[in-house]
Amino acid sequence: MKKNDVKRERFEHAILLYFICCKVCARIEEEGLEDKEALASLYNSQMRAALEQESTNLWKLDPKDLYDMYREEQETGGINLEKALNKAALVEDTFEDKLQRMDVDHDDCLYYRKEDEPRVNDEADYAILAIELYCNYRNLTGKAVMDLFYSNGMLEYLLVIADALLLVGLDFAMKQIDKLLEEKGVKFEKPGRPFH
């Protein structure tokens, strides 16, 4: 596989997780949680940890099914991963099929949602996108990025500024997040993986 194909695949995976997490987070917010709490709850869940593992193929499931897994976890303290894996195995979608079905426009990754679906506010959407891209850029789990952002006050910052930050370009935005974290004392052993 060519280097550019790998980068495109990484980017598409981050974008797919972004769209799925936006839908799940919207449902979490409907429970009355504020942006910061809803994002922290989502990214600290077992469901989200299982979702980011490509080998589980949980990305094939409908976001409502993933929200139901999240609710199950909140109510029981765990998820029935075997049941979810079996359900995902029955779905024939490829990555491309899922992106197309979710109306993802490759030229504008922020295009989203049909009229009747729950909506998160723009700040949370952009924060989710920044989190997913940063996971990919730094090769970290969603929980690790959430912990890093939360403990360094970056989550509040991203809820306010992520939209403007992402408009300047993905690689520049990721480097700016690195710079802000370094100013807070975070040290990185190696540079992030560029998207371009």
pLDDT, tens digit, 9 for 90 and up, residues 102-145: 654 433 344 333 443 334 356 788 889 889 989 999 999 999 99
Average of per-residue pLDDT values in the chain: 83
The contacts of residue 58 (CB under 8 Å, 6+ apart) are: 50, 51, 66, 84, 85, 88
Closest by CA position to 109, among listed 36, 193, 17, 43: 17
Beta bridge partners, 108, equal 105
Question: What average pLDDT score do residues 40-58 get?
Answer: 93
Q: What local confidence, expressed as pLDDT, does residue 117 receive?
A: 38
Residue 115 to residue 17: CA distance in whole angstroms? 21
Beta carbons within 10 angstroms of residue 171's beta carbon: 15
Residue 194 makes CB contacts below 8 A (sequence gap 6+) with 7, 137, 171
Q: At what angle do helices 35-43 and 122-138 cross, to 10 degrees?
A: 30
Residue 40 tokens read as: 């922290």
The CA distance from 66 to 47, in Å, is: 7
pTM of the model: 0.81
Q: End-to-end CA distance of the chain, in Å? A: 16
Q: Is 155 in contact with 149 (CB distance < 8 Å)?
A: yes
CB atoms within 10 A of CB 9: 13
> How much is the pLDDT for 144?
95
| % of the chain exceeding 70 in pLDDT | 83
